[in-house]
Structure 1
Amino acid sequence: MQGGSTGIVYGGLKYQARCIADVRADPEHTSFLAGTLSLKEENEVHLIRLSPSGTELVCEGLFYHPTEIWDLKSCPFNPRIFSTVFTSGETHGASIWEIPELYGQTNAPQLEQLVSLDEHAFKIKCILWWPLGKHDRLVSIDEGNLFVWNIDSSNKTAKVISQESVGMLHTLSGGSWDPHDQNTVAAICDSSLQCWDLRTMKKVNSIEQAHVRDVDYNPKKQHILVTAEDETGMHIWDLRMPKVPLSELPGHAHWTWAVQHNPEYDQLILSAGTDSAVNLWFASIGDRKNSTRESLVDSPRRQADQLINSYSDYEDSVYGLAWSSREPTVFASLSYDGRVVLESIKPYLQKL
C-alpha cells in the first residue's frame, strides 16, 4: 500500500542530515532533535516540537554544532542533554552536550560541552544511553572497541569503567542496549551480531552470517530483536535460538538502513531505506499477553507478517527514524536532504 503525502513536514534543516532522536525525557511535548551533516558549513542541531494544535512542526531551538553529526541521541532522563558522534576531516570524536536553560531568549545560543569522550583511538560509530530511566553509565562503540563509561554530568567528568577490543580482524559499526537487561549490548560486527555482557566484557551470544546495518530490541518482549540487513531485508530473532530467524520481512527496494520497534505497540516496526521510503510493518511475534519469559515459538500466529503502509513523501534516502515515546502513534523521519516528516499511525492500529 502506498501512502500519500499526509505527513507534517519540517523543512528547517538547511543542510544534509542523517540523525534524528526523540526527546524522551520531555513529558510536556512531542519533540525531536535533528543534526546536520555539512562538510563546509557550521552544522546545526534543531529542537523540533509538534505545535499544541498538532498541525505543524516548529523549531523551538537552533544550536550550532562545530562538526558533522553522524550519530545523535537524546538523554533519556534529562531533556536538555544529548550526545553526538562527529567528524571533522580526519579527526573524530564524541561529546555530551547541554542545551542552555534560556535557549529561547537568545539568537544563537551556544551548546555547553559537558563531557568529551576522548579515549577512542578508532573512528567512533555510536553512543548508547541505557534506555530506561536514569543511569550514570553510557556505552560507546568505535570500529575496534566497546567502552563503558561512568558519566557525571554535574561535575563534567567521564571515566572509562571497562573496555574490550574485538580484535584487528573485525570491525564494529553500531549496536543497541537491551532494555530488559542493563548488562547486555548487541553490537554489529562485520557479518554477525554479537551480544556482550558489560560486566565481564565478554561475548555471550551471536547471530552469524547477518550483514546488519541496524538493530533494535523489542521493548515488550525479552530476547526478541529485529535487524536490518544489507541484502535480505529484515529479520526478527529470538536470541535463545540464534541460528534461524523467527520471521523475515522484505525490507526495501534498496538498502534497509534503519529499523525501530514502536515503544508501545511492539508488533509495529518501522524501517527506512535508501529507496526514499519509510515502511510500517506488522510482525506477529507471539502475543502481548504472554509472559516475556515464555517461549514465543509455540504461540499461534494471529496474523501474517505484512507491510501495512509505505510512506513515500521523500526525494532522498531516509537514514533517520524516531518514534515519539510520549505519543507512540506518531513518528518522525529524516531524509538526507534535511526533510523531517511527522506521520501518524492511528489509521492502522486496528491491525493489532
Structure 2
Amino acid sequence: MFAGDDTAEVSLDLPCRAVCAVRANRNETQFLVGSCSTSETNRIHVLHYNNNNNNNNDEVNVRAQLVQEQGPMEVICSSPKDPTLLCTAHSSSQLLLQQLPDEAVVTTTYSSDDDRMDATSSTTMEQLIALETNGIVSDISWGDESSTGELLFITRSGHLTQFDIETQQFIRTLSLESSTTLPRLQWDPHANGHAVAVTVGKRVHLLDWRTDTSIPTGTVDAFVAHRRPGHVTALDYNPNKPYVLATGGQDGLVQFWDLRLTNRPLLVARGGHSHWISSLQYNPFHDQLVLSSGTDSIANLWRMSTISSAPLLTNDADVVNGEEEDDDNASETAGPNARIARHEHVDAIYGSCWSAADAWVYLTLGYDGKVQCHSVPSKEKYKILL
C-alpha cells in the first residue's frame, strides 16, 4: 500500500465475491457482503465502517450476519430508496428480493456494546419476491432514486431482463449472444431510464429502451472496447458527465470512452493490473476518482482529472496547501491523471465499491473473505475540494 493509507480490515472466514454499498443510507457507511461457499452455510454480512478522526483508529465491524439457504451468492445489489431492501442472485439460478431486519442497518443509539445486534448469531431475512432465472445471473443494476423500482439483470448465457418491483411484472426480455466471459450491465444515469450499456465479449452494446425492440435493432450503438488479448469484464458510467463510460478488460486496462465517438478511447490507464479487471466504479460524488480491482489481487485508485466534470486547476500533484509534498510516491502520483493508491490482497479481488455516505471511503473484497476499508489520501481531497 502507498504510504499514509488509512486501512481497516476484517475477515469474514468464508469465500466471498459479492459486495455493494447500502445505497439508501446516507448517514452511515455500510456495506453488504455475500459469501459463496459450496460447503458451508452462506451469509450476508452487514458491515459498518467507523472513521474515528480523533485517534486515527478506523474500524470496520460486522453489524449482522444473515443466513442464506439458497446457496452461493453471485451478485448482491441494494435498493437506492430503502436501506433494508436488497436483491441477491444465487448459483441455483434464483434471484431474490429480500428485506433486512431494521436493526441490521438502521441507525440506532446504543448504550453499550451488549445492546448491539449479535453479529455471531444466525439471522434470517424476509423473502419478498423469488424469481427463477434463465440461468445464473452475472450482474444486476437497480434503477436510481427517480425510477419506479425497475431492476435489470443479465444471466451468464446473455438473457437480459427488465423487472418492475412495484408491479412485480416483467417489462421485457432480450437475448444477447453468449460469451465466454460474464456479461456486465449498467443503467445510464443521464438517460432517465431509457438507456443501458451491456458487455458482450469484446464489445459494449448501448441499448435504447424507447425502441422497444430486440438486439440488434434496439441497439443505438455497439463498439469494440477491448481487443487483445480478451473481453470486456467491467464497466461504469461517469455519474456527473454525460456520454462518458469506463471499461475494464481481460487485458488489465482501464479505458474511458466518449460514447459520441467510439473509434478510440478518450484515455487509457495502463500498468495497474496484470490480469483481468473484475470491478470498476466511479466515485459517486467526485468523478475524478475511479476504483478498479482485479483477479491479480490488486485494487487501484485512479485520479482521472482531465476527463472529469471538474478538472484540477493545477497539474502539480505534489503541492498541498502551497507546500511541496515530500514522499516516496511523488513521482508516481504526479500529473492530472495517475494512480494515487494501490492495495494488495492475498486472494483475487472480485468486488470493490464506494461508500454511499462518505465520498472518501471505499471497500475492497478478497475472495478469501478479507475485507479492507480505505480512505482517499488527504492530499487528494485537498486537490479536489480546494
**Aligned partners of 1:25 and 1:189: how far apart in 2?**
30
2:252 pairs with 1:238: no
Change (3 A) 1:52 1:5: closer
Structure 2 SS opposite 1:109: coil
**Aligned partners of 2:101 and 2:130: how far apart in 1?**
17
The counterpart of 1:311, out of the listed 302, 326, 343, is 343
Residue identity matched to 2:62: C
2:299 pairs with 1:278: yes
**Offset, 1:332:** 0.9
The answer on whether the counterparts of 1:172 and 1:187 sit within 8 Å (CA) in structure 2 is no
Structure 1 SS opposite 2:190: coil
Structure 2 SS opposite 1:257: strand
The counterpart of 2:150, out of the listed 117, 123, 137, is 137
**Offset, 1:145:** 1.8
2:37 pairs with 1:38: yes
**Offset, 1:171:** 7.6
Partner of 1:296: none
**Aligned partners of 1:132 and 1:338: how far apart in 2?**
30
The answer on whether the counterparts of 2:291 and 2:353 sit within 8 Å (CA) in structure 1 is no
The answer on whether the counterparts of 1:318 and 1:335 sit within 8 Å (CA) in structure 2 is yes
Once the two structures are overlaid, the 10-residue window that deviates more, 104-113 or 184-193, is: 104-113
Residue identity matched to 2:63: E
**Aligned partners of 1:306 and 1:177: how far apart in 2?**
27
2:8 pairs with 1:8: yes
Partner of 1:208: 224
Residue identity matched to 2:64: G
Bigger radius of gyration, 1 or 2?
Answer: 2
Partner of 1:187: 198
**Aligned partners of 2:252 and 2:73: how far apart in 1?**
28
Structure 1: unaligned runs, 5 residues or longer: 291-298
Please give the per-residue CA displacement for 1:154-175, whole angstroms capped at 9, x wherever unaligned.
xxx6211111112468986111
Residue identity matched to 2:349: V
**Offset, 1:289:** 5.0
TM normalised by structure 2 equals: 0.80
Residue identity matched to 1:317: A
Structure 2 SS opposite 1:328: coil
**Structure with the bigger percentage of strand:** 1
The counterpart of 1:115, out of the listed 109, 129, 142, is 129
Please give the per-residue CA displacement for 1:177-197, whole angstroms capped at 9, x wherever unaligned.
111111111101112011111
Change (3 A) 1:174 1:247: same
**Offset, 1:198:** 2.2
**Offset, 1:4:** 6.8
**Offset, 1:44:** 0.5
Q: Matched residue pairs, number?
A: 334
Residue identity matched to 1:27: R
Please give the per-residue CA displacement for 1:8-49, whole angstroms capped at 9, x wherever unaligned.
0122x1211011111111132111100101011110101111
Please give the per-residue CA displacement for 1:224-282, whole angstroms capped at 9, x wherever unaligned.
01101111511000100112100000130222221111111101111111222211111
The answer on whether the counterparts of 2:142 and 2:149 sit within 8 Å (CA) in structure 1 is no
Once the two structures are overlaid, the 10-residue window that deviates more, 128-137 or 13-22, is: 128-137
Change (3 A) 1:289 1:255: closer
TM normalised by structure 1 equals: 0.87
The answer on whether the counterparts of 1:286 and 1:301 sit within 8 Å (CA) in structure 2 is no
**Aligned partners of 1:241 and 1:173: how far apart in 2?**
23
Aligned-pair identity in percent equals: 28
Residue identity matched to 2:129: V
Residue identity matched to 2:94: G
Pairing 1:294-309 to 2, within 5 Å after superposition: 303-309=335-341
Partner of 1:99: 100
The counterpart of 1:150, out of the listed 138, 151, 164, is 164
Once the two structures are overlaid, the 10-residue window that deviates more, 128-137 or 270-279, is: 128-137
Please give the per-residue CA displacement for 1:102-129, whole angstroms capped at 9, x wherever unaligned.
55667432111111122x3233212210
Partner of 2:330: none
**Aligned partners of 1:331 and 1:19: how far apart in 2?**
15
The counterpart of 1:58, out of the listed 55, 58, 61, is 61
Structure 2 SS opposite 1:221: coil
Structure 1 SS opposite 2:165: strand
Residue identity matched to 2:20: A
Residue identity matched to 2:176: V
Partner of 1:340: 371
**Aligned partners of 1:170 and 1:276: how far apart in 2?**
22
Please give the per-residue CA displacement for 1:59-80, whole angstroms capped at 9, x wherever unaligned.
2111001210111111111100
The counterpart of 2:356, out of the listed 322, 325, 333, is 325
The answer on whether the counterparts of 1:324 and 1:331 sit within 8 Å (CA) in structure 2 is yes
